[in-house]
Amino acid sequence: MLANTASAPSADRLIPALKIKTPESNANSGGALRLAEFVPWTVHNALVHYLSPRGLEQYSGGGWGARDVCQGPVETLLALGRTEPVRDLLLRVMRTQNANGDWPQWFMFFERERNIRPGDSHGDIVFWPLLVLAQYLLATGDAGVLEERLPFFDARGPEAGEQATIWEHARRALALIERRVIPGTALAAYGHGDWNDSLQPADPAMRERLCSAWTVTLNFQVLVTLARALRSIGRAHDAAALETRSEAIRRDFQRLLVIDGVLTGYALFDEGGGVRYLLHPRDRSTGVQYSSLAMIHAILEDLLTPVQIRDHLRLIDEHLHAPDGVRLFDRPMPYRGGPQHLFQRAESASYFGREIGLMYMHAHLRYAQALAHLGQAQPFFDALCQANPIGIRSIVPTASLRQSNCYYSSSDAAFDDRYQASAEYDRVNRGTIALEGGWRVYSSGAGITFGLIIRRFLGLGRESDVLVLDPVIPPSLNGLEVSAALLDRPVKIVYQVGSAGCGVAEVSLNGHGLSFVRDANAHRPGAVRIPIQPVQTLLAGEGNLMRIRLN
């Protein structure tokens, strides 16, 4: 882990044998040990998603989803410190970009199938490759990648398309993003859909008038992250332009999407200037009043004020939190036997699972990430443990038996049909219906899980020439010992955890104190950054000991 090397790693280095020793038997010890046991399987599952583009259960078809491959595989590789494969992934994705600046919803990995691809994509797809570019730049400082020349996609052949630098590819996408907004606002238009694939608009006219609050947060995140990355490599002028755009989004987010103190899931603008709010307490069409995904990401990106964050965490606890984790909505979308009014699959799908069944683990993991951002150590740890199938019944008593070495994309209530699901949905919270594991292995969620364990729970990360430490650990795990690898050297890390459970106060390596600078975080002491060079100097071939003291 945290190698940041271009060399091809062996299999035993790719799947880390993370060993955890808990201080004593307490309520969190078992969860910590189960997380350590699950780590190699999260990496295994994430590598299946990354390296087997057809997947285990899609052997006759399928490919790389543009949104998916930019999340799980990237977050896995960054947590492992393997940046060269991230560069390769970035270039592969950039070569599939259309000349208009957008990407397809998915594309085939193998060159012989390159022309098998959809003609459109959801409104959020254009953002993901830009986020990977920003993350890669921050992780490596490799400014030269921006001058790499690649073609845009052309059906005539791999080199037939217009040639452009990576930065020109990025500018083409940024220009498209700037055009795709609700008129008179800085808010991204919905297009063909967003992360929730079940909510594609039933009426094509909605594509330019509907706004997803989650897509707006993604737009903001991409602009802010890419601006930070550009500043880190000396391109302040380009960064400033993106920061100006991000502030316009922040203003309109608060002005148009936070209504009566509650973030709306969607806003439908009419030509006369009126706005209809969906998945919000004002919604009289769907019966759904709260949508967690937009709330979670608005917290992560600091688009809400501290008071608004407190209020939205309360809403999540009261209306969206179930025994198996945070659910997408407070109740299922209405089902009318097939006819579609607002959204396609959500109103017509007969199967009650994955997005339709509302407990989609990917969203729950982002909730865990938001709790870590806020420094809520125990709730973060609890949420992380809910994503672990090992010993799941000790946490979720109504969970069905599950294959313990598989990441599950969802937790699906075992209703007979959607009519029963709508009528008896409160049984989920009461714990009177079984919760079955959904789609296994082939999902970006496994990589996200691994990244959260390594970079949020244990707090081990790297950006370019600095070590980034930001553990979030419950105080009851004071004395936690972890055997891992740091810059390809074995190291034992001992965590001294104070009452806050976060905020590094002191770091030593082999008895030598390490100086650091601290990142800003409006909610708690931020991550600390330690130059790599003194760490490399102090690391021995074996027997290394790092001590990290948290507030």
Under DSSP, is residue 33 helix (H, G, I), strand (E, B) or coil? helix
pLDDT over 90 at 248, yes or no: yes
Residue at 83: amino acid letter? T
In the residue annotation, 142 being an active-site residue is answered as no
Mean pLDDT confidence for 229-238 = 97
Q: How far is CA 530 from CA 7, 53, 179, 505, 511, in A?
A: 24, 37, 41, 13, 16
pLDDT at residue 246, as a whole number: 98
Flag whether pLDDT at 50 surpasses 80.
yes
* Segment 69-104, tens digit of pLDDT: 999 999 999 999 999 999 999 999 999 999 999 999
Q: Is the pLDDT of residue 6 over 50?
A: no
pLDDT-based confidence at residue 25 (cuts at 50, 70, 90): confident
Residue 14: pLDDT over 60: no
Give pLDDT tens digits for 145-169: 999 999 999 999 988 999 999 999 9
Range in 50-54, 170-174, 528-532 the model is least confident about: 50-54
**What is the 3-state secondary structure of 358-421?**
CCEHHHHHHHHHHHHHHCCHHHHHHHHHHCCCCCHHHCCCCECCCCCCCCECEEEECCCCHHHH
> Out of 142, 197, 302, 488, which one is annotated catalytic?
197
Note the pLDDT tens digit of each residue in 368-419. 999 999 999 999 999 999 999 999 999 999 999 999 999 999 999 999 999 9
For 99-115, b/e burial (b = at least 16 CB within 10 A) is eebbbbbbbbbeeeebe
Q: What's the whole-number mean pLDDT along residues 237-255?
A: 98
User: What count of other Cβ atoms lies within 10 Å of the Cβ of residue 49?
Assistant: 27
pTM, 2 dp: 0.95
Give the phi and the psi of residue 425 in degrees, each rounded to 5: -60, -30
Map tokens 């409006």 to a residue: 522
C-beta atoms surrounding 321 within 10 Å: 18
Looking at residue 9, what is its pLDDT?
38
CA–CA separation, 345 and 353 (whole Å): 12
Q: What is the pLDDT of residue 488?
A: 85
Residue 497 has pLDDT above 50, yes or no: yes
**pLDDT of res. 10:** 38
Q: Is the dihedral of CA 145, 149, 154, 157 positive or negative?
A: negative
Sequence-distant (6+) residues with CB within 8 A of 417 are 350, 352
Each domain of the chain, given as residue ranges in start order, spans 52-179
Reported as a pLDDT band with limits 50, 70 and 90, residue 1 is: low
pLDDT at residue 55 above 70?
A: no
Residue 26: pLDDT band with limits 50, 70, 90: confident
The phi-psi region of residue 390 (left if phi > 0; otherwise alpha if psi is between -120 and 50; otherwise beta) is: beta
Q: Give the rounded distance of the alpha carbon of 192 from its chain centre.
A: 21
> What's the pLDDT at 527?
98
pLDDT of amino acid 272: 82
Tell whether the model's pLDDT for residue 8 goes beyond 60. no
pLDDT band at 327 (very low <50, low <70, confident <90, very high): very high
pLDDT for 48 beyond 60: yes
Mean model confidence pLDDT for the chain: 92
- The predicted structure's pLDDT at residue 307: 97
Q: What's the mean pLDDT in 214-231?
A: 98
Average pLDDT, integer, range 197-215: 92
Q: What is the pLDDT of residue 419?
A: 94
What token pair was written down for 196?
A: 């929730």
pLDDT at position 108: 87
pLDDT of residue 316: 98
- CA–CA gap between residue 480 and residue 317 (Å, rounded): 29
